[in-house]
Structure formats: structure tokens, C-alpha cells
């Protein structure tokens, strides 16, 4: 916790360390009220910096530690021989190489921040990224210091039969008093952020994988005994990820054993510790009875993400935390391509783009906007952001688009070969791609240094007499904090030109035939492309597959969008056209509602929706995506000043109007899908797609208020063979006016699933998101539920997070009650878990989007928070929000 102003750290101040740590030997003695950590470090002067042999002081990072013993080269030091303050331990070495042995005492049981060594339930576990290792012992806790670790864990055998750390087990034995020990050795040098330890009473799912060179890897998933039956999907996902990384990137696993451990209390999704991934249980456990299809897909993606880090992150790591996107952007790109290969590529892309536009675009337009490679930070935990992860992945995707599959692979091969075992920068990554391909990405690198979402405005002209079609591109990137002026970026635009039948024309540019689809690079602020031999005026299909993370505008009429939604041969852009039409319609309805006039339904939207609902040839998952209206969050993002009430009203009105207009088609398709899905549960992609469409239709149909539909919904809730269908029915009931059925379903659900924390998280979320008035009171009441606790991040996200991020109409209530409620929760949580508290500030930080009255109310709450004694985490976000 802070009293004085926290310090800002700058990328430009980066300096290599004065000393290296070649070997790190750790011994943990775990007890019920504390732990002792003995470390023995082999240190060596960084002679590149200090070639003259002068020995600078050694300063190690350390926080919240009780230092019990310091031994320098076998000599125990007295208190006058070293200096300790809140963040560090300093001493003066006498030689260029030396051994330092330390003993610290820590209290994992009282570690509520879940950073460092802590307890989750009865289990000990660690979270060291980014700077958690310094809460375990004094160390050079920075990613460019890579060391070989050997770890011994000693604990009571009865309570902690399983003792794990990174690498391979090398020895074990018994101590008196019922204690036992296990030693682990990790042969690969690694930064401290990849260190992990687990001790607990865990059961094991075991399998094996034979690598491309024929090595047999022991695969282990450790969970608490009651979760033993919910690990199969994670294990399958792991094996698929291992194969995929061999096939697509030529990357083979390197240790003999790969372990995943599920813990209930975890700040993020999961962590890629070398050989010992620690997961939030929500990203491991999946069984059809308890997890939705979405949860299954998340497990698959997160397992893959952490596994892929073994190369993109662990073997090649980051020089400093400003380079975080080096591992995260690349790894998100890798996991999203993996998911695309395992499921529907187009649907995966639609999901990713939808998420990016509703969330990352908002971040890029807000007070915390920062480049993919930030220039400065106060608290690095605040920079595990959508910009570093998702926009970073988009940047890597553009490089992939520009180089093509083969060129990109040549580049990554060179990157892994050149930098294996090193801690490097985003520039090193780009350089490897350039060198392998003879490419020049100097302008492209602005994507790493400039924040903000570029706007790409396109207009066109057709010259019939010359058969020429001109596309004029104009790019502008708005100012962001600390960056008033931006330079033009490289924007790859994948595109085609369609004739009146929706057929792609052959593209000719500067005398060169490019085929029917091309990627053109826009590099200037203003640029015109002249297509030749264009026989009739075309309709452009632009930015296919969302080939660059920009805000594209082209003056499409609603009729143009209808045409593209029906005829564009590119599936992604068909969806994009339907989405654009829905956004346009909704924006029109918001304006009409604000003007106090009655709303009317544009039949063209009904027509598009009908055409897909009745098209049994089209992938059901695509249909589900096309009929899903843009979220309220996205409508807020695209509005100049967002009127949340009008947005909520218009969107709900449109949903109901569509349900009424399409009632019979929707009902027929719902019934057909329900009949087809009855019987044995299937986890196949096509069964998932069917469930997704069926449940989306049920949501619409319930808005008709018909008793018959209510009966279908109740039947689905009661008879469902899986959680996807049951939860969808619950959502529909909870959002319906049928109070008695709603309360009965909630009570039934709670009774049945009380023993399953992850299922109960859904129960909390469904209620927190229900948009009827009075949601805040309901949330406050739910906070008193015996299964709710502010100490578990999943519960906080499920109830508080869902309310403030997904229930916009209630959160933004004009009396300010939602804002005051959130401020209270942030202040309360900051005392126990600053990382989670800081993430909750986001909705308040977006105050500039709203009307004056709400702006004042939101700012008032931010100021109230700022007046408290705060962690650096919350201080940074709140102070930047108010700046």
C-alpha cells in the first residue's frame, strides 16, 4: 500500500543487470502459519557492463519479506553489512563471482493478493508473473536474468502428499514428524517469473504424448479429488496443442513431463510456468453436465495458449516487461489460429473481432490507452491488457498476412533458432521476420509504438468510359495520452470487387493481374488505388477477415449491406455486412427514440435474418453469429456520446420486434434443432453449432411473451442433457417477465449445483446481468449469499464484474447508485487484492463516453477512490482516468 506517489518506470531507462544469477537453489519449508524459504544463488558480475572489474553494489528485489539470514560466500553477514528497505536488499560483493545464501520467512496463509506463494483452499501455490517472485525471496526479479533452478519442497505428508515444482523430479524422501520432501530440477535457464511450486492433496489424470522425434512425454493434470471427472477435455486439448505446434511451427516439447494444476483462487486465466502450468480451475474443468460449450472452448484455447508459451515466452522470453506483447501478442495469435483450425475458422474470427471491437477499441480510446509496446508504467500488472494481448495478436496477424504462411514460418523458425535461451525485444522478433524474408518493416513497427485505433475512410469512383474504379483511402489515428500526433501506419487491406451478381471480378492494378482477391497495403495518410479493366461499377468487399485492427468506413447504403450480407463469397464479410446493417438500424432507432418518436422496423433487416434462419445449408454457428445483434458495449463504443438508456431501449425493442416478425421461422428452426439435439449429448463442433443457434432462437422467442414458448423454455431447463442448454434456458427465464418460473428455476438451479463453485459462478452472473430494474439490489443481496466471497476472484468477476460490465442500463442508473456501489467495492478489494480491484476500475474510467450528468457522477466516485490510501495498481488507473 502506498502513501507517497508511486514511481513511473520508463522503457528508455532500460539497463542490463549488474549481475547474473547462474544457479538458483531453493528450499521451501511449508508450515501451517508460515513458510521458510532458503535460497542459494550463484552470482556473476555482468562483465559487458563492468569490464573494468569494478564491483557495483548488488541490489535484489524483495517485498513483504522477513529476512532471517544472509550468508555471503560462507560468511554470515550482520545487520550492518547489508541494507534492507520496503522493496530491496543491497550489499557489496567482494568478488566478480560469489555465492549468496538467504533465508526469508513469509506467510502464504495471509497472502490475499494471490501473488507470490499463497494458499488456495488447502493447497499451496504460486503466481510469480510479473513481479511476484520478490514476495518469496530477495532476487533479481527481472525477466532478463535467467537462471537454472533446483527446488526442494518440504511439507507434512498427510496434508500435502503432492509436492511439485518446475522441471523433472530428481529425489524425494522422508523427514521426521510426518514430513516429506521432493526435489525438482529444471535444466532450462529461466527468469524468476516462470518459477512455480504446488503442494496439496491432489488427484491426478495421467496420459502421454509421443513427440515428433519419438520422445514420450508424461502428461499430468492435478486437481482436487472432486474434480477428477472434469479433466478429459483439458487433456485432449493439451495433446492437440502439442501436435499442432509441431505441425504448424515445428516446435517440440522439451522436458520429460508436463503438468497442469487447477486452483480455485487465481487472479487471471492461467500461467505458463515452465513444465508446471497453474490454471484457474475455470480454464481446466469441463464436463457437459457442468460446463457450457463456451467454457469448453475457453478451456481448449487457454490450455493451448499456456502450452504454446513454452516456446513463445519460455524458451524465448522478454528482455523487460515493456516487451510483454512479444510473448503475449504472438501467443494469442498462435492460440487463436489453433482454435480456428480445431473449430470453424470464420466463426472464430467473428468471435475475436467482436471481442476486440467492443473492448480493445474502447481501451484504445480511453485514458489508459497505450501502445502494444508501452513506453512507461507505474504497475506492470495493469498492463496485462487487451491492447498488449489482443491488439498485439492482431499486429502479429498482419505480419502473417503480409508475409504469407510460408514467409511467416521462415521468420518464426529464424526467431526461435536465433534467440533460443535469450530474453529479447519486439524489435528482435521483427528483425527475424525481416531477415528471413528480405522484408522491411520499419514503417510497420509504428503498430508497436503508436496507441489508438486508426480510422480508415474509403470512398470510391467509377469511370465507365475508362473502365476504371478508384478507391481513395484516408487514414487518421486519433490522439491518445502522451501522443498528440500520429504518423501513417501500414494497413493491409484484404479485398475483392463484386459485380451485380455478387461474383468477384479480376483485380488489375498498375497493369498487373492480382486474381480475384488481393491484399493491398495502405501506407500513406491519403492514397488512391486505380483498378483497371473494371467492366461495371462494382461493390467493394473491404478488409476481409478484418485484415487490420482499424475502424473502417465506406459509404455503404443499407441496400448495399443487404446485398453483401446475402452475396459476398467471403463468409466473414457476409457477417460483417449484416452486423453493419444492424448497427446502422440500431443507431437510427436510438436517434428516433431520443427524438421521442415511435420506432419502426426496417424490413431489410428482417429479410436478412429470415434468409439465414431458413437456410439449412449455412453453418448453424454462422447463423447464430449473424442473428446476434451488436452488444450494448459495442454500441456505446461506436457512439459519440453514449445514451445508455436509449441504446438499451432500442436494442431490446429491436430484439422483440425481430422475434415477433420472425416468430414462425424461428419457432420452426428452434423445434427442428431441439428435436435433432435430443438424446445423447454430442460434443462435436456441429452439435455445438446447433446448440448455439437453438439457444439464440430461444432467447428471441421468449421475447414474444407467449405461453407456448415459455413451456418450451421450462421444458428445456428441466430436461436439458447438458449445461449449455440448461443455462441458456435459465438466462431466458431470468430475463423474462414470468416471475414465478424465473424464481423457481433459480432456486432449482442453486439447490442442484450448490456444491459446484464454477456452476454457481454462472448462477451469480446470470442474475447480475439481468436487465430488469432493481438489479443493484439483487446484486447486493447476492453478496450476502453464503457461497459468495470477495476473496475469490472468480466470484468477484461473476457477480460484481458481470454487473458493472454487462448490465449497462442498471450500472449507469442516473441516480449514480451503480457508480457508488462499484467505488465501494474497489476500495474494499484494494485492501486484499489490488490486481482485481484495479481491473474493476475500467467501467468508471470510461466516463468521457457519457452525458454530463453521468460524467460528473463517475468522476465524483473516482475522486472518492483517489482520496483513499491506495495500492499502486488502483492509484495508477484511477489517477490516469481523472487526468
Residue 327-366 contact track with Zn ion, rule CB under 5 A, x = bound: -x--x-----------------------------------
Q: How far is the CB of 199 from ligand 0A1 (least distance, A)?
A: 19
Q: 452 with 480: CB under 8 angstroms? A: yes
- How many angstroms separate the CA atoms of 623 and 347, rounded? 10
Residues 6 or more apart whose Cβ sits within 8 Å of residue 580: 556, 561
Task: Pick one of ligand 0A1, Zn ion, none as the site partner of residue 129 (Cβ within 5 to 8 A by kind).
Answer: ligand 0A1
Asked if 272 interacts with ligand 0A1 (CB under 6 A), we say yes
Nearer to Zn ion, 298 or 785 (CB): 298
The interface region with ligand 0A1, picked from 263-271, 505-513, 537-545, 803-811 by CB under 6 A, is 263-271
Burial of 855 (0-12, 13-18, 19+ CB in 10 A): middle
- Through-space distance between the first and last CA atoms of the chain, rounded to whole angstroms: 21
Nearer to ligand 0A1, 328 or 337 (CB): 328
- How many angstroms separate the CA atoms of 164 and 221, rounded? 12
Nearer to ligand 0A1, 145 or 154 (CB): 145
Asked if 434 interacts with ligand 0A1 (CB under 6 A), we say no
Asked if 328 interacts with ligand 0A1 (CB under 6 A), we say yes
The interface region with ligand 0A1, picked from 92-100, 156-164, 265-273, 818-826 by CB under 6 A, is 265-273
Q: 478 with 451: CB under 8 angstroms? A: no
DSSP per position, 350-379? HHHHHHIIIIIHHHHTSTT---SS-SEES-
Identify the CA nearest to 660 among candidates 589, 616, 709.
Answer: 709
Contact residue for ligand 0A1 among 120, 126, 127, 151 (CB under 6 A):
127
Question: Which grid coordinates are listed for 727?
Answer: 443455462
Q: How far is the CB of 514 from Zn ion (least distance, A)?
A: 37
Asked if 838 interacts with ligand 0A1 (CB under 6 A), we say no
Furthest-apart CA pair in the chain: how many Å? 95
Helical residues (DSSP H) of 595-722, grouped into ranges: 603-613, 620-627, 632-638, 644-661, 663-677, 685-702, 707-719
Q: How far is the CB of 672 from ligand 0A1 (least distance, A)?
A: 40
Q: How far is CA 652 from CA 160, 599, 611, 647, 696, in A?
A: 52, 12, 22, 8, 14
CA dihedral 554, 559, 563, 568 (to 10 degrees): 10
**Is 306 a catalytic site residue?**
yes
Identify the CA nearest to 818 among candidates 807, 827, 828.
Answer: 807
Task: Pick one of ligand 0A1, Zn ion, none as the site partner of residue 395 (Cβ within 5 to 8 A by kind).
Answer: none
Asked if 270 interacts with ligand 0A1 (CB under 6 A), we say yes
Q: How far is the CB of 331 from ligand 0A1 (least distance, A)?
A: 7
The interface region with Zn ion, picked from 194-202, 323-331, 453-461, 496-504 by CB under 5 A, is 323-331
Task: Pick one of ligand 0A1, Zn ion, none as the site partner of residue 399 (Cβ within 5 to 8 A by kind).
Answer: none
Task: Pick one of ligand 0A1, Zn ion, none as the site partner of residue 267 (Cβ within 5 to 8 A by kind).
Answer: ligand 0A1
- How many angstroms separate the CA atoms of 255 and 242, rounded? 13
- How many angstroms separate the CA atoms of 292 and 269, rounded? 17
Asked if 384 interacts with ligand 0A1 (CB under 6 A), we say yes
Residues 761-790 that bind ligand 0A1 (CB under 6 A): none
| Residue 461 DSSP label | E
Nearer to ligand 0A1, 328 or 570 (CB): 328
Location of C-alpha cell 541494507: 83
Asked if 316 interacts with ligand 0A1 (CB under 6 A), we say no
The interface region with ligand 0A1, picked from 267-275, 432-440, 620-628, 844-852 by CB under 6 A, is 267-275
Which residue's Cβ has the minimum distance to ligand 0A1? 268
Asked if 129 interacts with ligand 0A1 (CB under 6 A), we say yes
Task: Pick one of Zn ion, ligand 0A1, none as the site partner of residue 381 (Cβ within 5 to 8 A by kind).
Answer: ligand 0A1
Q: At what angle do helices 620-627 and 345-355 cross, to 10 degrees?
A: 20
- How many angstroms separate the CA atoms of 811 and 404, rounded? 45
Asked if 267 interacts with ligand 0A1 (CB under 6 A), we say yes
Contact residue for ligand 0A1 among 381, 385, 695, 842 (CB under 6 A):
381
Contact residue for ligand 0A1 among 65, 271, 477, 627 (CB under 6 A):
271
The catalytic position among 306, 434, 504, 625 is 306
| Residue 421 DSSP label | T
Q: How far is the CB of 335 from Zn ion (least distance, A)?
A: 8
**Interface contacts to ligand 0A1, rule CB under 6 A:** 127, 129, 267-272, 305-306, 328, 381, 384, 835
Q: Report the interface residues with Zn ion, using CB under 5 A.
A: 328, 331
Amino acid at each position: 500500500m502506498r502513501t507517497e506517489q508511486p514511481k513511473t518506470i520508463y522503457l528508455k531507462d532500460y539497463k542490463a543487470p549488474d549481475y547474473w544469477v547462474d544457479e538458483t537453489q531453493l528450499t521451501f519449508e511449508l508450515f501451517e502459519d508460515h513458510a521458510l524459504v532458503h535460497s542459494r544463488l550463484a552470482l556473476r558480475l555482468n562483465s559487458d557492463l563492468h569490464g573494468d572489474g569494478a564491483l557495483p553494489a548488488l541490489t535484489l528485489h524483495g517485498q513483504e519479506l522477513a529476512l532471517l539470514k544472509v550468508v555471503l560466500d560462507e560468511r554470515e553477514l550482520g545487520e550492518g553489512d547489508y541494507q534492507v528497505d520496503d522493496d530491496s536488499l543491497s550489499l557489496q560483493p567482494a568478488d566478480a563471482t560469489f555465492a549468496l545464501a538467504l533465508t526469508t520467512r513469509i506467510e502464504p496463509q495471509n497472502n490475499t493478493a494471490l501473488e507470490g506463494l499463497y494458499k488456495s483452499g488447502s493447497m499451496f501455490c504460486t503466481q510469480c508473473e510479473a513481479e511476484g517472485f520478490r514476495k518469496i525471496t530477495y532476487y533479481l526479479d527481472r525477466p532478463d536474468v535467467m537462471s537454472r533452478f533446483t527446488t526442494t519442497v518440504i511439507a507434512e505428508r498427510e496434508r500435502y502428499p503432492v509436492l511439485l515444482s518446475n522441471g523433472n523430479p530428481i529425489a524425494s524422501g522422508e523427514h521426521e514428524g510426518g514430513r516429506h520432501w521432493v526435489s525438482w530440477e529444471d535444466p532450462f535457464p529461466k527468469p524468476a517469473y516462470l518459477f512455480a511450486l504446488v503442494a496439496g492433496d491432489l488427484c491426478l489424470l495421467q496420459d502421454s504424448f509421443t513427440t515428433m522425434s519419438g520422445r514420450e512425454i508424461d502428461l499430468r493434470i492435478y486437481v482436487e479429488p472432486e474434480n477428477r471427472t472434469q479433466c478429459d477435455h483439458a487433456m485432449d486439448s493439451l495433446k492437440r496443442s502439442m501436435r499442432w505446434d509441431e505441425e504448424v511451427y515445428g516446435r517440440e516439447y522439451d522436458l520429460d513431463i508436463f503438468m497442469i494444476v487447477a486452483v480455485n483462487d487465481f487472479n487471471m486465466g492461467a500461467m505458463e510456468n515452465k513444465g508446471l502450468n497453474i490454471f484457474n480451475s475455470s480454464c481446466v474443468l469441463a464436463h457437459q453436465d457442468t460446463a457450457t460449450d463456451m467454457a469448453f472452448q475457453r478451456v481448449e484455447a487457454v490450455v493451448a495458449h499456456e502450452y504454446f508459451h513454452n516456446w513463445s515466452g519460455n524458451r524465448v522470453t522478454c528482455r523487460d516487461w515493456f516487451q510483454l506483447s512479444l510473448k503475449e501478442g504472438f501467443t494469442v495469435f498462435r492460440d487463436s489460429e489453433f482454435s480456428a483450425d480445431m473449430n470453424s475458422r470464420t466463426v472464430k474470427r467473428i468471435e475475436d473481432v467482436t471481442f476486440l471491437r467492443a473492448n480493445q477499441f474502447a481501451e484504445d480510446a480511453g485514458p489508459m490507452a497505450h501502445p502494444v509496446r508501452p513506453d512507461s508504467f507505474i504497475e506492470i500488472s495493469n498492463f496485462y491488457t487487451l491492447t498488449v494481448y489482443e491488439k498485439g495478436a492482431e499486429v502479429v496477424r498482419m505480419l502473417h498476412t503480409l508475409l504469407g504462411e510460408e514467409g511467416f514460418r521462415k521468420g518464426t523458425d529464424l526467431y526461435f533458432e536465433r534467440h533460443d535461451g535469450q530474453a529479447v525485444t519486439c524489435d528482435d522478433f521483427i528483425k527475424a521476420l525481416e531477415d528471413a524474408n528480405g522484408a522491411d518493416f520499419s514503417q510497420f513497427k509504428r503498430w508497436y509504438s503508436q496507441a489508438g485505433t486508426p480510422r480508415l475512410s474509403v470512398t470510391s469512383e467509377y469511370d465507365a468510359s475508362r473502365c476504371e474504379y478508384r478507391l481513395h483511402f484516408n487514414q487518421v489515428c486519433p490522439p491518445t495520452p502522451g501522443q498528440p500526433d500520429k504518423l501513417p501506419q501500414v494497413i493491409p487491406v484484404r479485398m475483392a470487387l463484386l459485380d451485380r451478381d455478387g461474383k468477384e471480378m479480376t483485380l488489375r492494378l498498375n497493369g498487373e493481374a492480382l486474381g480475384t482477391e488481393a491484399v493491398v497495403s495502405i501506407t500513406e495518410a491519403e492514397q488512391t488505388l486505380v483498378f483497371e479493366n473494371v467492366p461495371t461499377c462494382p461493390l467493394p468487399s473491404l478488409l476481409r477477415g478484418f485484415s487490420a485492427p482499424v475502424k473502417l468506413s465506406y459509404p455503404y447504403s443499407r441496400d448495399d449491406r443487404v446485398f453483401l450480407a446475402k452475396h459476398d463469397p467471403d463468409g466473414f464479410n457476409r457477417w460483417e455486412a449484416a452486423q453493419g446493417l444492424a448497427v446502422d438500424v440500431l443507431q437510427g432507432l436510438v436517434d428516433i427514440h431520443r427524438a421521442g418518436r415511435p420506432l419502426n422496423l426496417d424490413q431489410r433487416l428482417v429479410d436478412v435474418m429470415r434468409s439465414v434462419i431458413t437456410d439449412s445449408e449455412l453453418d448453424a454457428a454462422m447463423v447464430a453469429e449473424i442473428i446476434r445483434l451488436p452488444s450494448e458495449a459495442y454500441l456505446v463504443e461506436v457512439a459519440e456520446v453514449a445514451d445508455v438508456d436509449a441504446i438499451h431501449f432500442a436494442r431490446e425493442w429491436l430484439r422483440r420486434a425481430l422475434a415477433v416478425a420472425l416468430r414462425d421461422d424461428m419457432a420452426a428452426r428452434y423445434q427442428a434443432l431441439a428435436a435433432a439435439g435430443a438424446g445423447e449429448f454430442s460434443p462435436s463442433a456441429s452439435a455445438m453449432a446447433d446448440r448455439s443457434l437453438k439457444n439464440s432462437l430461444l432467447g428471441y422467442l421468449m421475447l414474444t411473451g407467449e405461453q407456448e414458448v415459455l413451456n418450451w423454455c421450462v421444458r428445456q431447463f428441466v430436461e436439458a442433457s447438458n449445461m449449455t442448454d440448461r443455462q441458456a434456458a435459465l438466462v431466458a427465464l431470468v430475463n423474462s417477465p414470468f416471475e414465478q418460473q424465473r424464481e423457481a428455476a433459480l432456486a432449482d438451479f442453486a439447490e442442484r449445483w450448490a456444491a459446484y463453485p464454477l456452476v454457481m459462478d454462472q448462477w451469480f452472473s446470470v442474475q447480475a446481468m439481468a436487465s430488469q430494474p432493481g438489479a443493484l439490489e439483487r446484486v447486493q443481496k447476492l453478496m450476502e449469499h453464503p457461497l459468495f466471497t470477495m476473496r475469490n476472484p472468480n466470484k468477484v468477476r461473476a457477480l460484481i464484474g458481470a454487473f458493472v460490465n454487462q448490465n449497462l442500463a442498471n450500472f449507469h442508473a442516473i441516480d449514480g447508485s451503480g457508480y457508488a456501489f462499484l467505488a465501494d467495492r474497489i476500495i474494499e478489494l484494494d485492501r486484499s487484492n489490488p490486481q482485481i480491484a484495479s481491473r474493476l476500475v475500467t467501467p468508471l474510467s470510461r466516463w468521457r463516453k457519457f452525458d454530463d450528468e453521468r460524467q460528473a457522477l463517475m468522476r465524483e466516485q473516482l475522486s472518492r477512490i483517489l482520496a483513499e490510501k491506495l495500492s499502486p495498481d488502483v492509484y495508477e488507473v484511477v489517477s490516469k482516468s481523472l487526468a
